[in-house]
Amino acid sequence: MNARAPINEQRVHRSLFAVMRAVRVLRLLWTLSIAAWSLSALLPGVSVSAQEPLRCRVGFILCKDGSECVLHSHLCDGEKDCPDGSDEEACSSACTVGQFQCAHGKMCIEKKQLCDGVAQCQDRSDEVDCFKPEEGCFHRCDKKRCLSESFICDGEADCEDGSDEADCGDGHCSSGEFQCSNGQCVSINMHCDGYPDCQDHSDEDGCVSQVECGADQLHCLDNQQCVLQEWICDGENDCKDMSDEQNCTESSVECGEFQWPCASQTQCVPQSWHCDGTKDCRDESDEAGCEPVSCPPDQFQCDSLECLDPSLVCNGEDDCADKSDEGGACKSDTCSDQLQCAQDCYSTPKGTRCWCRKGYEPVDGGVKCVDVDECVKTPDVCDHSCMNSGGSYECSCNPGYILEPDGHSCKITDEAYLLASIESDIFLINLRSSSLKVLSSEKQPILSLDYDWKEQKVYWISMDTEAVMWTTLDQNSRGTLIQGVRTECVAVDWVGRNLYWTDRGEGQINAVCLNGYRAEPVVIVDDVDELCSLALLPQKGVMFWSETGDEAQIERAGMDGSNRRVLVRGSLHWPVGLAVDLLQNRLYWADEKLPCIGSATLDGDDVKILQLETQSPFSLSVLGNLVYWSDKHRGTIQKAQKMTGKQQLVLLKRLGQPLSLKGSTTSESCSGELDLGVCCLSPRITSALIKIRVWLFSYTSSQDITGEALAAFEL
């Protein structure tokens, strides 16, 4: 018994040791399992379980095969992060309006994240080549184009994707205005006045009172509106019930001296539109029988006259309407020696041919390719300035304008307005918002008006008081500049600070100082036969006037009356309106009897005549790339492209006769004031006078400008 006791104790100790070792193993396994679960919690977006499917954390997305989780920002970034590539599936091919597409892959980000200093695109393409925003930058179209606030929601899409016109809420009109259903603002007194001033006619909705029409007017069927006889069947719905365009039939028309008759004999187009490559006649006859327009040298011309990229020729598919791009020598004659061509070689049905790329033209059959100077070959390719480069060109705009998305057109950056006198009312038309405001209502028709941008004043002729009146644009001030004058035309000299006017009875052009320093008028030019209209160009110190006597003509002189000469004599019948185009240095005129709109250089060369479908053009104004004119018979103010006369649009239609027009922007290119009495400019002193103005404008206001200081500038 005693001998066996130690053996039993040993067995007990061994058993306890085994149990303790088992406990330590279990603890170790438990610790390892806890560590594994802790590690799984630290892994990005992964939850490990042998029994449960993979679950992803916030900000991650599960691959289609369930094997991995990837960051949501890696979707559609152009790189396959999932083993099955499912993160690059179902990616949109194009971004929506207001989004930017990353260069690598198909990822889209919001435009507001573009060039914000934080790379949202994996390839950082949203932060590459970013320009530093200039003052006034409000909305980015892309990385190289930004718009000022005035361009946003102005009714015109200036960004290529139209993002500047997206999410535009309803506009708010002032207390003195009526808000049309389309957001346009018109003066409150135009509401229910018997004629629709809103573009959508909503200012006449709910107006049940019957209106009285004049002797030269007709009632619409609902008796709530009046229209002119000239508006019946003119292709525009002037009556809200559209009764003015019912039961219309086309009748033959007689074309003018500078027009081309369409085959239907119911329409005339300007002669310059005939065979210009655009079908302008409704029956398309203006392009019938014309010489085919040849394709650019970098394109292939089908026998059916279409133009193709040379890569589409001999590609096994019929791209020409007559299949002339396939067959023939396409397979038998291939480009075996590319070195014989200066740039490219392609197979054609008529054999191999050397091609020059866009912007170049071939010499010696394409053995050489020379650069095309588009600025010289097509001078109208840019609205303002053109800079040629190898195989291309670049357009730029003058100060105060911005280049449009098409890369060719220029748009005014400031607010643009059109002042118009219609019978005895002066209207202010905002050319961006189309808002319409009545500045002044007089007793007699207003034949002429002009605008002083510096003082924000409108000047006009008051026939009943025989005076030149003025009002500020905000209508807070109003007054009389000079009394006891009989005139038909006024013009503001904003550089010399004078007002010019015509005296048809005396055959004179007179001037008086705008600031009242010297109220006595000065005769600038006399002995003018049948003086009609007047236009000034203070920047160059010259003025122009028209005469409608037995021999109609347009004359030019310095604004002091010097260097007088005839500018245009031919192609004139009754020039009643003049306007200067500051961008192209051309003079425009409206000929009421021809009827047409003409233009010439400031030296009288390169005369161009546009005989549009207008019955009686009376006054005109040129602003930017557009010409605006009034038609007395039709009661309309219209606009069109100034060089071609195309894209015609009726801007305003009223029952009264539109008489005078003046376009203006909210800023001009010169400031300052020089009080020298009636200082009439001449071409010789204009540049020096402008320099004096700039100097005086920058001179400290507390200092006196002495006679010695003025004498320092030699005029």
Three-state secondary structure readout of 300-339: EECCCCCEECHHHCCCCCCCCCCCCCCCCCCCCCCCCCHH
Q: What is the pTM of this model?
A: 0.72
Number of domains in the chain: 3
The residue among 37 and 68 whose pLDDT is bigger is 68
Residues 342 and 404 in one domain: no
Domain at 379, CATH number: 2.10.25.10
Residue type, 91: C
| Residue 148 near residue 142 (C-beta atoms within 8 A) | no
* Per-residue confidence band for 433, with pLDDT thresholds at 50, 70 and 90: confident
Residues 357 and 489 in one domain: no
Q: Which residues contact 334 (CB under 8 A, 6 or more apart)?
A: 347, 352
* Per-residue confidence band for 374, with pLDDT thresholds at 50, 70 and 90: very high
Q: What gap in Å lies between CA 503 and CA 522, rounded to an integer? A: 12
Residues 386 and 492 in one domain: no
User: What is the domain extent for residue 308?
Assistant: 295-372
* pLDDT exceeds 60 at position 8: no
Let me know if residue 597 belongs to a domain: yes
- Looking at the DSSP bridge assignments, the partners of residue 574 are none
Residues 340 and 393 in one domain: no
Let me know if residue 329 belongs to a domain: yes
Let me know if residue 468 belongs to a domain: yes
* Per-residue confidence band for 1, with pLDDT thresholds at 50, 70 and 90: very low
Q: What angle do CA 630, 631, 636 make, to 5 degrees?
A: 75
Residues 421 and 538 in one domain: yes
Residues 452 and 589 in one domain: yes
Query: Of 653, 670, 687, which residue sits at a domain end?
Result: 670
Residues 464 and 323 in one domain: no
pLDDT for 393: 93
Q: Which residues contact 134 (CB under 8 A, 6 or more apart)?
A: 146
Mean pLDDT along residues 134-141: 70
* Least trusted range by pLDDT, from 230-239, 276-285, 407-416: 407-416
* Cα–Cα distances in angstroms (integers) from residue 699 to residues 215, 386, 673, 709, in the given order: 61, 36, 11, 11
pLDDT for 470: 95
The residue among 577 and 238 whose pLDDT is bigger is 577
Count Cα neighbours of 575 within 13 Å in the Cβ-side half-sphere: 28
Residues 302 and 450 in one domain: no
Strands 351-355 and 344-348: antiparallel
* pLDDT exceeds 80 at position 249: yes
* Per-residue confidence band for 281, with pLDDT thresholds at 50, 70 and 90: very high
| Residue 126 near residue 108 (C-beta atoms within 8 A) | no
* pLDDT exceeds 80 at position 166: no
Residues 475 and 590 in one domain: yes
Q: What gap in Å lies between CA 646 and CA 639, rounded to an integer? A: 9
Give the ranges where 653-699 is alpha helix by DSSP (H).
Answer: 686-698
* pLDDT exceeds 60 at position 508: yes
